[in-house]
């Protein structure tokens, strides 16, 4: 009898151990499966865009990701979110390579939304900006031009008479949502201008400063010449002389759709409001969007007695020769023409 009892206890103990082993193996397998679902890369190299709508639940986001073949299991993603306890952020997300669910989760938790980068060079006009945005796939050119002309309320406190946002769309590299509207893009550029203006201390005579800065920006690409170029125009204004700046004439032609890519003698007599050969004083408003160095030059021009300048060589982006008199200017112009001729120009 005693032997049977010992045999019975041994059999019972083995059954319990087997059950515990089975549970252990089951848990281990579940953990391994979860780790595989969460950590193993999934997806393809084909571009996939997932638009997470504001207010979406974790379950809905997870189902979107699984349907788009970005993750293997929405259940595993739900568990991952519960474990991480993070907040998933709305927006468009671009996936273009195999990634683990953990990586996908991390991107959405930090709001790493898909944007398109577009660089706006210094001296760009609203026409240039509109073209660049269209080329970057950020809306139709005309849509941005309409926004630039209709959203003047964005700058009314700085320039109550602004006819457009020209001058206040700060040149920079912007990272924009593909869904950004022209109004939103324009507002972002004006916001950037305000930040730069605040840093420069630009609070007074904003219209005049930005208008002068836009002319300086279009007249020279040499940073250390900007204050001197600004001084030329300030001196001409003080002397009651016309500014006679080609970029302003060109801008007036652009506004009327008459710009032919090259300035002709007949253009200098066309009576647009921006023709600074015909009209004394400053043009009605900015003719481009200046950068910080041109703004600073317009705020603090050099002290000179120069009234003229011309390119020093055939390179229009190079240095200039400054003159105090028309006689000096005529000599400088002759030197410029010789340089152009030697360079193969006309």
pLDDT at 333: 87
Helix %, strand %, coil % of the chain (to 5) = 50, 10, 40
Within a domain: 16:
no
Strand (E) or helix (H) holding 48:
strand 48-52
Please check whether residues 193 and 280 belong to one and the same domain. Answer: no
CB 104 within 8 A of CB 125: no
What CATH number corresponds to the domain at position 193?
A: 3.30.1490
Within a domain: 259:
yes
CB 134 within 8 A of CB 157: no
Render each residue's pLDDT in the chain as its tens digit; 346 residues: 444 444 445 455 566 766 665 565 565 555 555 566 666 788 777 889 999 999 999 999 999 999 999 999 998 899 898 888 889 999 999 999 999 999 999 999 999 999 999 999 999 999 999 999 999 999 999 999 999 999 999 999 999 999 999 999 999 999 999 989 999 999 999 999 999 999 999 999 999 999 999 999 999 999 999 999 999 999 999 999 999 999 999 999 999 999 999 999 999 999 999 999 999 999 999 999 999 999 999 999 999 999 999 987 666 667 999 999 999 999 988 888 887 777 665 5
Q: What residues pair up with 129 in beta bridges, in sequence order?
A: none
pLDDT at 311: 84
d(CA 218, CA 198): 23
Strand (E) or helix (H) holding 92:
strand 91-95
Core vs surface per residue 132-144: b (16+ CB within 10 A) or e: bbeeeebbebebb
pLDDT at 146: 98
Please check whether residues 142 and 160 belong to one and the same domain. Answer: yes
Question: Considering the entire predicted model, what is its pTM?
Answer: 0.82
What CATH number corresponds to the domain at position 62?
A: 3.30.1490.480
DSSP string covering 144-162, please? HHHHHHH-GGGGTTT-TT-
Please check whether residues 241 and 331 belong to one and the same domain. Answer: yes
Residue 280: count other Cβ atoms within 10 Å of its Cβ: 13
pLDDT at 119: 98
CB 93 within 8 A of CB 112: yes
Out of 184, 200, 216, pick the residue that ends a domain.
Answer: 200
For the chain, what is the largest distance between any 2 Cα atoms, rounded to a whole number of angstroms?
A: 133
Within a domain: 42:
no
Please check whether residues 214 and 331 belong to one and the same domain. Answer: yes
> What residues make up the domain containing 174?
116-200
Within a domain: 180:
yes
Within a domain: 295:
yes
Please check whether residues 214 and 326 belong to one and the same domain. Answer: yes
CA 201-218-271 angle, to 5 degrees, is 110
Within a domain: 1:
no
Burial of residue 106 (CB within 10 Å: 0-12, 13-18, 19+) is: middle
Please check whether residues 149 and 230 belong to one and the same domain. Answer: no
Please check whether residues 219 and 158 belong to one and the same domain. Answer: no
CA 56-60-65 angle, to 5 degrees, is 115
């Amino acid at each position: 009898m005693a032997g049977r009892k010992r045999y019975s206890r041994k059999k019972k103990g083995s059954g319990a151990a087997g059950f515990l082993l089975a549970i252990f193996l089951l848990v281990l397998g579940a953990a391994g499966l979860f780790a595989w679902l969460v950590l193993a890369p999934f997806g393809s190299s084909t571009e996939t865009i997932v638009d997470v709508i504001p207010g979406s639940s974790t379950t809905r986001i997870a189902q979107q990701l699984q349907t788009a073949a970005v993750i293997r299991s929405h259940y595993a993603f739900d568990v991952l979110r519960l474990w991480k306890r993070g907040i998933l952020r709305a927006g468009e997300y671009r996936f273009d390579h195999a990634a683990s669910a953990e990586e996908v989760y991390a991107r959405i938790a930090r709001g790493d939304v898909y944007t398109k980068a577009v660089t706006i060079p210094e001296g760009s006009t609203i026409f240039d900006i509109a073209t660049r945005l269209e080329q970057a796939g950020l809306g139709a050119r005309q849509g941005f031009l309409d926004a630039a002309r209709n959203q003047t309320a964005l700058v009314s406190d700085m320039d109550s008479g602004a006819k457009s946002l020209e001058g206040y769309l700060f040149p920079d590299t912007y990272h924009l949502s593909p869904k950004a509207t022209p109004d939103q893009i324009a507002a972002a550029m004006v916001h950037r201008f305000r930040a730069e203006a605040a840093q420069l201390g630009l609070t007074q005579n904003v219209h005049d400063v930005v208008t002068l800065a836009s002319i300086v920006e279009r007249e020279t690409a040499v940073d250390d010449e900007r204050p001197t170029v600004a001084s030329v125009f300030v001196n001409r204004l003080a002397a009651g002389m016309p500014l006679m700046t080609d970029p302003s004439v060109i801008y007036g032609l652009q506004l009327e759709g008459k710009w032919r890519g090259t300035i002709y003698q007949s253009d200098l007599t066309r009576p647009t409001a921006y023709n600074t050969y015909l009209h004394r004083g400053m043009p009605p408003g900015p003719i481009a969007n200046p950068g910080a160095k041109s703004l600073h030059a317009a705020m603090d021009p050099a002290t000179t007695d120069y009234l003229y300048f011309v390119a020093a060589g055939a390179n229009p982006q190079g240095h200039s020769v400054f003159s105090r008199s028309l006689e000096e200017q005529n000599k400088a112009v002759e030197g410029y023409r010789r340089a152009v001729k030697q360079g193969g120009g006309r």
